[in-house]
Structure 1
């Protein structure tokens, strides 16, 4: 006689995995909506000052232009949408802790206790380092590169005028490049902490990292030696900083996991 439960469409055990998957999707949607709402709320509160935010955003280039130099608009809607994009970027950076908190709330139930202890400092330091990378690009790299390019154009008799949309694309690329570059210490610490790569191995590949840093700088930055050095040198220095900090995080993760599981039991 066959088991009637195997053919019962109302068997609650059959719906268990599906219900769990749906509940995760509902939770994910809720977290995405909350994260997006936070970004939109900040954006709406800043949109009135969008022209001022863009002027602040463009200041490094404007201060490097020769007397009488100015930026241009080649798109009919560029003068409206570019400041809006810049304001949205600023809103996202301001609301990023809230976005990360929503991500944390979604993934935290599936983490061990030792993983929870690591996530909070890692996420916090990643956010701070990313902001430091953006600030480094804005306050040091941009003025240096723009000043160099403006003086380079002068002997050629060329007038330096940049479309605001192209300036936004350039600045976004540089912000992303330097923001990610400043995450190198966190990446090194995570690799060592979770046993993916041994610390001694990372020290041995130092020459390859140096070459790779200059290759990345040559690809990402404008084709001038100065901007390439401004990216490659911090990348190498941050890698060395990560190696130094990783010495204090060599405690095996397996031991932490075993301790967490023992506490859970």
Structure 2
């Protein structure tokens, strides 16, 4: 679709175009969700309930690290967690199966969803803007999947380990509902995936002039507070977990400053060429 064609389209034509992009994105989610629904044993036993077993890679690594620094009494080296997972509602397992498949479908189809979003937006951009943003889908997808992996292998195990071993009385037996366990895995993975999109967001905000490197540097202290708040929200309330989560987010923020500086420098070079 050419830029001229876009300019000639009416508001209703744009809505119709958007509708078809959304339909295609939705179909991709349904297809991926159907595959996840079929392979339910792998999705639940291996992925969802993986962090509830002490042979999960993160626990094994943390156990070795704790032993290296001389910690003998650590929950990361236990044989099993002191809880069981159960279902308390009649349709609980079926509902969990449906919704988990949908979320899994969204994660798997995320690159195609971005492609449909970009296909709708890109015709309205200038030729040089499209060229400079050519790797948008690849970079954004890579950052999202890195965030999902970080949430799954770091935030989820830390959260489950902390909450499973936290008790206010020995008289209380932990019997976690399946929906609660799934919610921890889902929210940790997807939230981290979107947080890792920070460099992409800063890139486009800089392109439209809403953000500058100076602005990001000036409000770095406020960003640190926001990062700590985000870390507190998506992790258990212990300092070690919050620090572990805060470090990559701060790195992403610093990377975003460099990206913003590159965008501004390129824009200034183009302005200089136009003037000369």
TM-score, scaled relative to structure 1: 0.78
Residue matched to 2:249: 235
1:113 equivalent to 2:137? Answer no
Following the alignment from structure 1 to structure 2, what is the Cα–Cα distance between the partners of residues 182 and 54? 25
Counterpart among 67, 82, 101 of residue 87 in structure 1: 101
* In structure 2, C-alpha distance between the alignment counterparts of 1:211 and 1:153, rounded to whole Å: 29
SS across alignment from 2:86: coil
Whether the aligned pair in 2 keeps the contact of 1:195 and 1:252 (CA below 8 Å) is: no
Q: Pick from 8, 22, 25: which aligns with 1:35?
A: 25
In structure 2, distance between residues paired with 1:124 and 1:154? 47
- Alpha-carbon distance in structure 2 between the residues aligned to 1:50 and 1:110: 41
Shift of 1:31: 1.9
Note the alpha carbon deviations across 1:177-228, whole angstroms, 9 max, x for none: 3122212222333334443233123212222211221123223433333332
1:54 match: 44
Superimposed CA distance per residue, residues 2-46 of structure 1 (whole angstroms, 9 cap, x where no aligned partner): xxxxxxxxxxxxxxx997233223222222222222221222233
- Count of aligned residue pairs for this structure pair: 244
Task: Kindly indicate whether residue 207 of structure 2 is the aligned counterpart of residue 217 of structure 1.
Answer: no
1:116–1:67 Cα change, 3 Å:
closer
Q: CA deviation at 1:135?
A: 0.5
TM-score when normalising by structure 2? 0.75
Matches of residues 69-218 of structure 1 in structure 2 within 5 Å? 69-153=83-167, 156=170, 158-218=172-232
Write the deviation string for residues 127-173 of structure 1: whole angstroms up to 9, x where unpaired: 21111111011112222332233333398454332111122223332
Q: Is the 8 A contact 1:185 1:241 kept in 2?
A: yes
Alignment check: 8 A CA contact 1:130 1:183 kept: yes
Cα separation, 2, equivalents of 1:85 and 1:258: 53
Is residue 42–residue 91 contact of structure 1 (8 Å, CA) maintained in 2? yes
Q: Bigger radius of gyration, 1 or 2?
A: 1
Cα RMSD of the aligned pairs, angstroms, is 3.1
In structure 2, list runs of 5 or more residues that go unmatched.
1-6, 55-75
Task: Kindly provide the CA deviation profile for residues 76-105 of structure 1, in whole angstroms up to 9, marking residues without a partner as x.
Answer: 111112122212212222222222222222
CA offsets, 1:23-74, max 9 Å, x none?
Answer: 2232222222222222212222332212321222121024388367421111
CA distance in 2: counterparts of 1:68 and 1:201, whole angstroms: 48
Decide whether the 8 Å contact of 1:112 with 1:257 is kept in 2: no
User: Relative to total residues, which structure has the larger helix share, 1 or 2?
Assistant: 1
2: CA distance, partners of 1:253 / 1:77: 56
